[in-house]
Amino acid sequence: MDNIQNSSKNYFAIESYGVRLRICAMRKELLEEIKGRINKILPEGFYKRISPRRAVHSFSVRRNSSSEYVLFKGRNKITFGNDREIFLKYLDWQVRLTIAEFAESRVFVHAGVVAWKGKAIILPAKSFRGKTTLVKELTKLGAKYYSDEYAVLDEAGLVHPFPKMLSIREPGDKYQQTDYSVETFGGSKGVVPLPVGMVLLTEFEAGAGWQPQILSDGLGVIELLSHTIPIRYNPKFSLKVLNKTVNRAIIVQTKRGEAEEFAVKLLSFFENKAF
């Protein structure tokens, strides 16, 4: 059994989308670094500080006898390692995932989101499938930026902004990311909830051409399920929201080639089909 150092009373707590969580660390300087990272992993204004006594979920960062960082979620050890940056990025992801799993009155879908002429385009995809690259190219063409990670849906099926910084993977290393504001690429953020005009199911394939297929609403819901974060904890509400979302949208499936060329074709197709 690891000899884990107990953390001191170095902690803080936040609330986001009704999810209240506390983060503890054994050293004050480490806790301050984690606090600073919160401003990057959650959009500005999308969380608030609360009393730690109100927290429901908790994370604790400790060290073991081998001087490895150890992360606990509640009482369960969920990861450990020596690389501080990789370790803290994992904590970043766990914080966002916990909020996405337990958000009140919202359904989080793992997806990029942009808006074009008052309607949202949702790009559901797993990690490393190029959704952030495509979102970036769409914003360069004038689409409003909503998110490169989560489509946040309300009970009426409207999508809300979750405008965290875009996490761009460095060439040659898919695990190394740099965060950029959308303004870096000449884009701008969306600020109001919108109906979803299109759900686009796509992933990169070298040399792929533009060959869109329109799917039924039912298939659209089935495809979205695997990307829906709270489906295990709140399946009834999740399904209700997904059905309302696809009822307003066209569901399109296609492989894509390079994002820059694909983005132009996508917006042209969207205008012809959704307006």
Least confident of 5-19, 152-166, 214-228, 260-274: 5-19
Query: What is the predicted pLDDT for the residue at 127?
Result: 67
Query: What is the predicted pLDDT for the residue at 39?
Result: 83
Residue 64 lies in a domain: yes
Whether 5 shows a pLDDT value over 80: the answer reads no
Q: Are residues 216 and 122 in the same domain?
A: yes
Enclosing H/E stretch for 76: strand 76-81
Q: Which domain holds residue 185?
A: 107-274
Query: What is the predicted pLDDT for the residue at 176?
Result: 67
Give the alpha-carbon dihedral of 213, 216, 221, 226, to 10 degrees: -30
The strand pair at 196-201 and 250-253 is best described as parallel
Q: Are residues 78 and 113 in the same domain?
A: no
pLDDT in tens, 112-141: 999 999 999 999 987 666 789 999 999 999
pLDDT in tens, 52-102: 999 999 999 998 888 899 999 999 999 999 999 999 999 999 999 999 999
The model's pTM is 0.91
Q: Residue 205: pLDDT band by 50, 70, 90 thresholds?
A: confident
Q: Are residues 138 and 263 in the same domain?
A: yes
What's the domain count of the chain? 2
CATH code assigned at 189: 3.90.228.20
Query: What is the predicted pLDDT for the residue at 129?
Result: 64
Query: What is the predicted pLDDT for the residue at 142?
Result: 96
Query: What is the predicted pLDDT for the residue at 6?
Result: 42
Q: Are residues 21 and 115 in the same domain?
A: no
Query: In percent, how much of the chain has pLDDT > 90?
Result: 76
Region 230-246 average pLDDT: 96
Region 202-231 average pLDDT: 93
Q: Are residues 207 and 86 in the same domain?
A: no
pLDDT in tens, 144-188: 999 999 999 999 999 999 999 888 876 655 556 788 889 999 999
Q: Are residues 57 and 114 in the same domain?
A: no
Q: How many residues does the chain have?
A: 275
Query: What is the predicted pLDDT for the residue at 177?
Result: 73
DSSP string, 8-70: -S-EEEEEETTEEEEEEESSHHHHHHHHHHHHHHS-TTS-EEE-GGG-SEEEEEEE-TT--EE
| Residues 263/138, Cβ–Cβ less than 8 Å | yes
Q: Are residues 140 and 222 in the same domain?
A: yes
Query: Of 204, 197, 203, which Cα lies nearest the Cα of 113?
Result: 197
